[in-house]
A and B are shown apart, each in its own frame.
Chain A
Amino acid sequence: MSEGVATGWRGRVSAWWTILRIALEERLVYRGDFALGTLMRFLPIITQIFLWWAVFETVPVGADGKSRLVGYGFSDMVAYYLLTMMGRAFSSMPGLATGIARQIRDGEVKKYLVQPIDMLGFLFWARVAHKLAYYSVAAIPFGIVFFLCRGYFERGWPATPYLAAFIASLLMAFVLGFLVEACLGLVGFWMLEISSLLFLYMLFSFFLSGHMFPLDMLPQPIATIVNFLPLKYLAYFPATVFLEKVPIDRLGWELLVQALWTLLFFWLARTMYQRGVQRYSGFGG
């Protein structure tokens, strides 16, 4: 029978690779919609830049001849905004939570119970494929936008340790974003409809990940509280690392905390899946 073939780590890696490849192919089926959707995401950049420009118009000019808002000049703000966009490109998971909840509701989740495959692993590799497809299309417009806006990056490229930390934080932001949204989707095992919950999360995540404005603009004690939340690692943290706003001696610590949050959500997603399946199996399937 099928015993005796590659079923250990080698088999698993090979299965992941196949999922990745197939999901990538699936992504490219609707290339028109996909390309348009990717490009449309760049539109908010223009409105956002105008918004900050209008805001800075009202801010009095300081001693150095520049308007500053909690340490951010207009160029800093645009640079920050572009970088959080990049962070979100890694950490946002459109359709993941709703997809999981739908699969639970429609009973498609049975597939993962009957077949020797792990649901979270499967979804993770499918998501990696989605992101790869997205980056391959978005790389050019991203490049153009960053090139056009290069003047706003007054410090130029960050120093090597910052650049390395930036890349590491983006990769972890991807995993963390995946796990947080997977947990939200897995709530579907307990609640038939998760759209309100998801709406609430999106709302908070939009502000508290720093996508709307830099989190250090928040007043105390809110800033301190938000600083303890994992959401900042989805956009704010990678952006401030690139802008070298994190002191070098805190860089390692912050990365460690991000890794710990990721591990925590890994554990949470696993536990929720296990409990959820138990409930599902007990309840009716």
Chain B
Amino acid sequence: MAIIEIENLEKTYRVYQKPEGLGASLKGLWKREYRTVQAVRGVSLKVEAGELVAFLGPNGAGKTTTLKLLSGVIYPTSGTARVMGYIPWERDDRYRRRFALVMGQKNQLWWDLPAQESFRLHQQIYGIDPEAFRRTLGELTELLACGELLGRPVRELSLGERMKMELIAALLHSPEVLFLDEPTIGLDVVAQHNIQQFLKQYQADRKITVLLTSHYMKDVAALCKRVIVIAKGTVQYDGSLTGIIDRFSASKRITVQLAEGQSSLGLDRYGTVVKEELPRVQIQIPRGQVSRVLADLLERYTVDDVAVEDPPLEEAIAGFFAEMAEGQGSSVGSAEGRKR
């Protein structure tokens, strides 16, 4: 049975539309115009226990709103959701003891105290048995290699170190479902890698269900087999990471290493030259033309080496996001029309 079930979830906000200028602002004192923002529109999906799922999407796509709905912070406008059989926004204490939400940009530790004090508080809030508390804390600090940080005031920790502490705080009560909103935001490459490795290891050991939003493809590539792309509040794609390329990218990249003395002139007839660092040239061509282009190219040019690759994931996604941002998506257009 699915551990998370979402059906036709919708969330609409009303935002005050502040007009420009002092006169209009004065008018706004008694008559205000509101704009309806549909953060989530008709999202339906199922997540099985033990899955590690990533939500991808441009800013304002509805990823965080979906996580907020699932953790019970906000109510939906319509639709249903069940996590471990609970309706999240009913905020049943039994549910709240079984999941955790970590927001990369929010701090839930006591700023001026060592993290271990916050951990003690969590032990009390979640009613964690002292023995289990000691054991879990020991395991987590070992996995994150951060034992010496526990006694240092949180305000003195670096962003990466603080994130480790946030994760420990969130995992002390051994949640079965973990929601991570941008867990690696603002971290340097090493810290990002450490957090990724930790999450991977922890999830493999405990088989917990993890829903993650991130802008870093590396997070996603390192952690998640399943990816859900959300844009304009709707699910645009639900499947494997590699499938994204097939779905969102219509091109391939050919890198040729030209032989000495061979001119690169005319290579742009096949497609767009992405990079030219002679003797190496990279061309982006339509997906279906790989064999034709290769054959023609090898015939016309003297080539030392050739490689065919998919374009980077970031680019595939960015291209898709840009497309979405232009508001061309037909499903989005109709949803808008329906709601107005």
| Contact yes or no, B93 A26, CB < 8 A | no
Q: Is B121 an interface residue (CB 8 A)?
A: yes
- Per-residue CB contact flags for chain A residues 103-115 toward chain B (1 = under 8 Å, else 0) read 0000110110111
Cβ contacts under 8 Å, A15 to chain B: 121, 124-125
Which A residues from 99 to 148 make CB contacts under 8 A with B? Answer: 107-108, 110-111, 113-117
Q: A20–B46 Cα gap in the complex (Å)?
A: 42
Cβ contacts under 8 Å, B68 to chain A: 110, 285
Q: Nearest chain B CB to A138's CB is how many angstroms away?
A: 21
| Contact yes or no, B106 A108, CB < 8 A | yes
Cβ contacts under 8 Å, A151 to chain B: none
Q: Is B315 an interface residue (CB 8 A)?
A: no
| Contact yes or no, B117 A1, CB < 8 A | no
Q: Is B50 an interface residue (CB 8 A)?
A: no
Which A residues from 3 to 58 make CB contacts under 8 A with B? Answer: 3, 5-7, 11, 14-15, 17-19, 22, 25-26, 29-30
Chain A binding site: helix, strand, loop or mixed by DSSP?
helix
| Contact yes or no, B124 A18, CB < 8 A | yes
Q: Is A284 an interface residue (CB 8 A)?
A: yes
Q: Take A2-B126, A282-B75 as given contacts and tell me if A113 and B113 are in contact as well, using a CB distance cutoff of 8 Å.
A: no
Q: A236–B303 Cα gap in the complex (Å)?
A: 95
| Contact yes or no, A116 B71, CB < 8 A | no
| Contact yes or no, B173 A2, CB < 8 A | yes
Q: Nearest chain B CB to A24's CB is how many angstroms away?
A: 11
B73, B101, B120, most chain A CB atoms within 10 A? B73
Q: Is B127 an interface residue (CB 8 A)?
A: yes
With both beta carbons as reference points, the residue of chain B lying nearest to A109 in the complex is identified as B73
Cβ contacts under 8 Å, B101 to chain A: 110, 114
Q: A104–B14 Cα gap in the complex (Å)?
A: 18
Q: Take A2-B173, A29-B153 as given contacts and tell me if A22 and B110 are in contact as well, using a CB distance cutoff of 8 Å.
A: yes
Q: Is B129 an interface residue (CB 8 A)?
A: yes
Q: Is B182 an interface residue (CB 8 A)?
A: no
Q: A278–B72 Cα gap in the complex (Å)?
A: 11
Q: Is B108 an interface residue (CB 8 A)?
A: yes
Q: Nearest chain B CB to A103's CB is how many angstroms away?
A: 11
Q: Take A3-B97, A6-B127, A116-B97 as given contacts and tell me if A283 and B13 are in contact as well, using a CB distance cutoff of 8 Å.
A: yes
Cβ contacts under 8 Å, A111 to chain B: 106, 108
Cβ contacts under 8 Å, B110 to chain A: 22, 26
| Contact yes or no, B174 A1, CB < 8 A | yes
| Contact yes or no, A2 B128, CB < 8 A | yes
Which B residues from 155 to 180 make CB contacts under 8 A with A? Answer: 173-174, 176
| Contact yes or no, A2 B174, CB < 8 A | yes
Q: A242–B340 Cα gap in the complex (Å)?
A: 66
Cβ contacts under 8 Å, B106 to chain A: 107-108, 110-111
Q: Is A281 an interface residue (CB 8 A)?
A: yes
- Per-residue CB contact flags for chain A residues 271-285 toward chain B (1 = under 8 Å, else 0) read 000000010111111
| Contact yes or no, A22 B117, CB < 8 A | yes
Q: Take A26-B112, A29-B113, A115-B125 as given contacts and tell me if A285 and B74 are in contact as well, using a CB distance cutoff of 8 Å.
A: yes
Cβ contacts under 8 Å, B193 to chain A: none
- Per-residue CB contact flags for chain B residues 94-129 toward chain A (1 = under 8 Å, else 0) read 101110110100101010110001101101111111
Cβ contacts under 8 Å, A280 to chain B: 74
Q: Please give 13 more A-B residue pairs, beta carbons under 8 A apart, in addition to A5-B127, A19-B121.
A: A2-B174, A11-B124, A17-B124, A18-B120, A26-B110, A29-B112, A29-B113, A110-B73, A114-B72, A114-B96, A116-B96, A117-B125, A285-B68
Residue positions of B touching A, CB distance < 8 A: 13-14, 68, 71-75, 89, 91, 93-94, 96-98, 100-101, 103, 106, 108, 110, 112-113, 117-118, 120-121, 123-129, 153, 173-174, 176
What are 26 A-B pairs at a CB distance below 8 A?
A1-B97, A2-B98, A2-B127, A2-B128, A3-B97, A7-B127, A15-B124, A18-B123, A18-B124, A22-B113, A22-B121, A26-B113, A110-B68, A111-B106, A111-B108, A113-B72, A114-B71, A114-B96, A115-B96, A116-B96, A116-B125, A281-B89, A282-B75, A283-B14, A284-B13, A285-B68
